[in-house]
Structures are given as C-alpha cells and as structure tokens.
C-alpha cells in the first residue's frame, strides 16, 4: 500500500483537522505506524546532525515538536482500541505496541542525542529560560536518565526487551478484562426474579435480551448501568450473589483469559526495570515524578486516612447489620448484600434513592448543565457540530468557543456501553494543545462513559452517581480544552499523576449546589425544577457511608503500593497471588474474603493503565479538591475572580510548572486536609 492511499498519513482535510474516522480501516494502522516511525527517525537524525552547537531551540524544542504524525496515529489507534475496538483493531494495537516501545527506547537511549541534551542542560543557568522552558529542559533530560541512557550496553538491551514485553502484557491484560466483561450474561426467564427492580432497569434488561436474540427474557451484564442497579435493588439474594461473584472473578478462572500470570510478569518486569535504573522498587521509580515523591510518604498518607476513616466505617457496617436484623431478614451480611441494604437504609434515613432522582437527570439536560456551569465559570460556550467525523453514530462533537467567539477546542462525547468499549469512564485526547510555528494548535478532547442508555419508553435518565461521573470526566476535559502551553509534552493533562485528578474531582462539587442544579435538573416529563427538599436530601446524604467508600478506595491504594513497592527478589518469588492480595488489603477489610474473587486480575488502572504505583492519587487529589473548593464556597461557587484564578493557575498551565507552585498561586498556601475530613463527615 503506497502512502498516498493510507488516509492516516495524509493531511486531514476536515474541519479543525479532526481525524476522518470513516476513512480509517484496521489494515491502515500498522503501515501508518511504521511509516510515521521512519519519518520521526529522520527528524531525530536531523537534530543529531545539526552542525550548529546544541541550543534549547535546535535540540530541546525540536525534540518536543518531533514525531507529530506518529503521535496523531497512535492516539487514534489506542483511543479506538478502548472506545470502539474489534478483533482487527486489537491485533493492530498488539502489533504496534512493541514497535512504538522499540522506537521510544531508540530515542531515549540515543547517546548522540543525549550528548546534545546534556550540553544544553549543563548551560541551563546561562540560558535565561522562563519557567516553562526550564520545566521542558528538566523533563527532557530526566527522560533520558529514566529510560536508560546512562546504562551500559547490555543493560540498555535488557531495558528495551522489558519495555517491549510490558507493552504487550498490559494490552493483553486489558483485552482479557474486556472479553470477560462482554461474555458474561445472566439470563432471567421468570419475572418474579426481577422483584425489587425499577421498571426502567427491567425495560433496559429486556432491550438487552431482545438485542441478543432472546426476546421475552431479561439479560443483566457486568456493565455498570446493568450491574449496579441490580445489586442495589434486586430482592433475589442468590442472583445478587451470582452476579457479584461473576463481577469479582473476572480474569481469575484459571483459563486462557486468567490474568494472574500476566500480573506476575508485569510486576516482575517493572521491578526489574526500576532496579536496572538504580531504584529500590517500581514505586520509588514512579514516585520520583509525583508530588508525594516517596513510597513512605504515600503509605503514611494512606495509613493516616485509614486511621481516621475505618472506625467510622465499622460503625456504618454495624448500623447496616442492625438494620438488616430490624428488617426481619435472618442473614449474615455479605458483600453482595451491601449495596442492596445500603440503598434501603439510605431511603429510610433520607427518603431518597436513585429512582426518585433519575427523572430530574435526563442525559441531554445534564450535559447542557455541564456546559452552562463551564460557561458561567470560564466564559466558554459549546456549539454542536454536524460536519466533524465521529467514530460511532452515538458520538457527538462540539466546538468550544471563548467569550469573543474564538475557537478553543473540539469536544467529543461518547456516553453509552457497547461491546467494543471497555468499562468505566475516561477522558482522552486526539491532539494536545501546543504552539507550533507561531500558531496556537488547539486540542481535540474526548470523554468516554458507560451510562444508562435510553429505552423505547424512556430517555437516558442518569443516577446521581452518573451525574457526578459526567462532571468528573468533564473536569478532565476542561484541563485539556483550556490548555495554554507552548509545548505539547507539558500541555493539558500532562502533569504529575497525583495532580491530574484535581480538575476532575473539584468539578464534581458543583453537583451538590442548588445554584448549579437549578441550571439543568428538571423533570424530563413535567419540566418541574428539582425540588429544594431533594437538593437538601442530596446534600444531607452526601456523607452517607462515605467512610466505607473511603476505606474501599484506600484498599485499592494499599493493594497498588504493595504490588509495586517490592524488591526484585520479592517480585520474582511471588507465588500465591490471591493470598498476596488478601494480605495487602487486610488492614482495610470490613467483610470476609469471598473465595474465587480477586481485585487484582481486573485492576486495569494499575496493570493496563497509567496508575501503577499511583492509585493513591485519587485520595491525594481529594485533599486538593476539597481545599480548593472551600475557596469557591467562601467566595461564591460562580465567583468570577476565583474561577479565573483557577483557570489561569491550574487549568491552563498543564505541567508547565511544579504542581505545588501552581496550587499555591491559586490558593495562596499549601493544601490542608481539614476540608476533606469535614466534607467526608470524618470529623
């Protein structure tokens, strides 16, 4: 196939240079990746062979600007592999991964290139660089060190082998989890087994069955919009247990999709790589470039929060057990009972539940509310685009404009579960913001979710948790869309990973405020605004079982740190992974272990995503977001001065400065934990 026949290598003649998805076929990806790598190699050779003395512009900036086409193609391939995959796209991603790892190693271990970078780095104090330029130089220099440029030849070869194998293993891990999620179906034939379920959830299950050729039955899956309502509402305890066990045993069945051996290899290889570079563990390697900086800091942080949350969480469990007894149910409370009885007690205490609130959260209205909230805070507006290609008919594209009508970004929204989409919710980009040849290249940003779909009788009505998720991912999107950096590698969400959740988590806070809810929360049939008493109940119930949720989140943080804070000898001698997990999570356990279940085999965040040795960052960022939002509460949630400061010092700055410096510029001081403890009801 010649280059001019490969649409991935051509100029995208589309509005805003967006990817023309409809032209891309699975067979295009690998040839395009190979050609783009060749183009990038040529750019690298030009930097090395430049006869002029190494300078910040001809070496550091030239490196940051290089590989543009390769970046675009890789973004498209790996984003689609998460959001709209197929066997062919998965195969292309598997084939492309080692090539990209090999090329990355080739760049970061190139001693001639490193020699030029070292010369610039050595003269950094005489170069009169601004803060962002200093950050780019520091990051570039460190990247060589952290990718093995200082290793001897044999160790460099081993580093390359490790990184290529890890690229394959992490993909394999994610594919196994996706396949396990897609394959499971709980088929219900007797309507009595649906007792307790809301009509909308029953209708959705009937639609799923119909789509799978089983009309007249009901099918529940492991996708969140199906799984969660069933666990919260189904009276049939044995079916709840069946669904729970299926969910919690993903990729842990001893078959070809079992992830345990994959985990062993990932942990062992990451630890070996860290040791090659001189670090005590993979966690030490990762945390060198995080706000937390060391495993001890992280573990102290997690233990401190656990000490504050666990006594309250134990009280919550005891209260629920008492409620079960009062209800007349003679059972020993198990994990598959928690959501069910928790919902019932919540309804009793606050007279509120998901089904009461859903009618006020029609998806289109909530999305409009997200847009209006961003407009009131940051003076941006959203215009639906019908002329921009999308990768699936359900995806919508919008142009983001500033107060003067200037183009800010393209925003893609993709909301409902599909077989080709992995579970969860995330923000990503197809192009990051940067200044290139004097032009401000604006970003292409996407959020991907798995929300309750519509049925023939109802539009898509969200739970309050889904509303929070939409605001959360949109907070990430704002970080990408409002980026204002010179260099793509420092732009948008390219920040320390324990800072990246601040923009997303702070945006959730607006969902609890009447002033914000009044913008969009209205009954989808009557148009009635959400009643004040419901808003009061949402706020009053916001700390309901918050200690339990905190302990659960901390359990994942401990598990992550235990996997990756091991020596190489420990990592290579791991045997019983189930016991390893049980020991790691023991300090946080509030229920007995369920045999056959395992978190690690489906823990895509740390084994297939970028959160290895970084899962603590969700709680770390909660300290930041609670502290930051307390300023909005003090000044007014739509206070323009506060919002502008947050936009200018956090959202637009990306990774151009150290995050603590950015935070202090916004808040006037370092963060305090008090606001989080108060918000979570832990004081």
Residues carrying an active site annotation: 473
Residue 205: partners with Cβ closer than 8 Å, 6 or more residues away: 188, 194, 197, 218, 219, 220, 226
Residue 557 and residue 615 in contact, taking contact as beta carbons nearer than 8 Å: yes
Buried b (16+ CB within 10 A) or exposed e, 48-67: eeeeeebbbebbbbbbbbbb
d(CA 302, CA 241): 30
d(CA 655, CA 483): 10
Residue 310 and residue 588 in contact, taking contact as beta carbons nearer than 8 Å: yes
Residue 358 and residue 462 in contact, taking contact as beta carbons nearer than 8 Å: yes
Q: Could you tell me the sign of the dihedral formed by the alpha carbons of 532, 533, 534, 535, in that order?
A: positive
Q: What is the DSSP string of 73-117?
A: HHHHHHHHHHHS--HHHHHHHHHHHHHHHHHHHHHHT-HHHHHHH
Query: CB atoms < 10 A from the CB of 323, how many?
Result: 17
d(CA 104, CA 324): 56
* Helix, strand, coil fractions of the chain, as percent rounded to 5: 60, 5, 35
Residue 443 zone, left/alpha/beta (φ > 0; ψ -120 to 50; rest): beta
Instruction: Report which of 430, 441, 432 is spatially closest to residue 389, judged by C-alpha positions.
Output: 430
Alpha helices per DSSP H over 131-152: 131-146
Question: Which is it for strands 434-436 and 426-431: parallel, antiparallel or unpaired?
Answer: unpaired
Residue 649: partners with Cβ closer than 8 Å, 6 or more residues away: 662, 663, 665, 666
Q: Could you tell me the sign of the dihedral formed by the alpha carbons of 562, 568, 571, 573, in that order?
A: negative
């Amino acid at each position: 196939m010649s280059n001019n026949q490969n649409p991935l290598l051509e100029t995208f003649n589309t509005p805003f240079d967006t990817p023309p998805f409809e032209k891309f076929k699975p067979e295009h990806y690998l040839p395009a990746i190979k050609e783009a790598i060749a183009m990038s190699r040529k750019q690298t050779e030009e930097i090395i062979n430049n006869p002029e003395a190494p300078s910040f512009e001809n070496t550091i900036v030239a490196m940051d600007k290089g590989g543009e086409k390769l970046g675009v193609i890789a973004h498209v391939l790996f984003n689609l592999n998460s959001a709209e995959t197929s066997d062919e796209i998965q195969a292309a991603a598997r084939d492309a991964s080692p090539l990209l790892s090999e090329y990355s190693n080739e760049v970061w271990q190139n001693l001639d290139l490193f020699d030029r970078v070292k010369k610039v780095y050595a003269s950094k104090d005489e170069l009169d660089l601004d803060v962002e330029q200093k950050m780019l130089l520091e990051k570039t220099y460190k990247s060589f060190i952290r990718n093995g440029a200082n290793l001897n030849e044999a160790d460099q070869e081993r580093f390359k082998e490790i990184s290529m194998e890890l690229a394959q293993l992490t993909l394999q891990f994610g594919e196994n989890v996706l396949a396990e999620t897609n394959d499971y179906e709980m088929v219900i034939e007797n309507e009595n087994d649906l007792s307790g379920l809301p009509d909308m959830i029953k209708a959705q299950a009937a639609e799923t069955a119909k789509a799978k050729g089983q009309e007249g039955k009901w099918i529940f899956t492991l996708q969140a919009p199906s799984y969660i309502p069933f666990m919260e509402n189904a009276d049939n305890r044995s079916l709840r247990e069946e669904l729970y066990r299926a969910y919690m045993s993903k990729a842990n069945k001893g078959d070809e999709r079992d992830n345990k051996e994959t985990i062993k290899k990932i942990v062992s290889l990451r630890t070996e790589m860290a040791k090659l570079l001189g670090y005590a563990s993979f966690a030490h390697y990762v945390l060198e470039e995080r706000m937390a900086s060391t495993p001890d800091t992280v573990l102290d942080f997690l233990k401190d929060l656990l000490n504050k949350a666990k006594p309250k969480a134990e009280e919550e469990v005891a209260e629920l057990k008492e409620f079960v007894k009062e209800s007349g149910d003679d059972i020993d409370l198990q994990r598959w009972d928690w959501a069910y009885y928790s919902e019932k007690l919540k309804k009793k205490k606050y007279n509120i539940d998901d089904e009461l609130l859903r009618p006020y959260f029609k998806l289109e209205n909530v999305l409009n509310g997200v847009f209006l909230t961003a407009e009131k805070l940051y003076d941006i507006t959203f215009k639906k685009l019908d002329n921009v290609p999308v990768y699936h008919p359900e995806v919508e594209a919008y142009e983001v404009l500033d107060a003067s009508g200037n183009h800010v970004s393209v925003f893609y929204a993709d909301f409902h579960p599909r077989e080709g989409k992995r579970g969860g919710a995330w923000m990503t980009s197809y192009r990051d913001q940067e200044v290139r040849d004097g032009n401000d290249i604006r970003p292409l940003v996407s959020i991907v979710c798995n929300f309750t779909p519509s049925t023939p009788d109802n539009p898509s009505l969200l739970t309050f948790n889904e509303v929070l998720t939409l605001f959360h991912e949109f907070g990430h999107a704002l970080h990408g869309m409002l980026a204002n950096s010179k260099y793509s590698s420092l732009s948008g969400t390219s920040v320390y990973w324990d800072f990246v959740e601040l923009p997303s988590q702070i945006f959730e806070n607006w969902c609890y405020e009447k002033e914000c809810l009044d913008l969009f929360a209205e009954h989808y049939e009557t148009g009635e605004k959400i009643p004040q008493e419901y808003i009061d109940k949402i706020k009053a119930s916001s700390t309901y079982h918050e200690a339990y949720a905190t302990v659960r989140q901390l359990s994942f943080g401990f598990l992550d740190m235990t996997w990756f804070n091991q020596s190489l000898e420990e990592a290579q001698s791991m045997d019983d992974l189930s016991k390893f997990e049980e020991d790691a999570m023991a300090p946080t356990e509030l229920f007995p272990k369920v045999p056959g279940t395992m978190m690690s085999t489906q823990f895509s965040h740390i084994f297939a995503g970028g959160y290895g040795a970084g899962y603590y960052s969700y709680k770390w960022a909660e300290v930041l977001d609670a502290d930051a939002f307390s300023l909005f509460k003090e000044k007014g949630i739509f206070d323009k001065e506060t919002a502008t400061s947050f936009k200018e010092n956090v959202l637009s700055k990306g990774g151009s400065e150290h995050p603590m410096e950015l935070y202090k510029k916004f808040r006037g001081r370092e963060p305090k934990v008090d606001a989080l403890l108060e918000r979570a009801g832990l004081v």
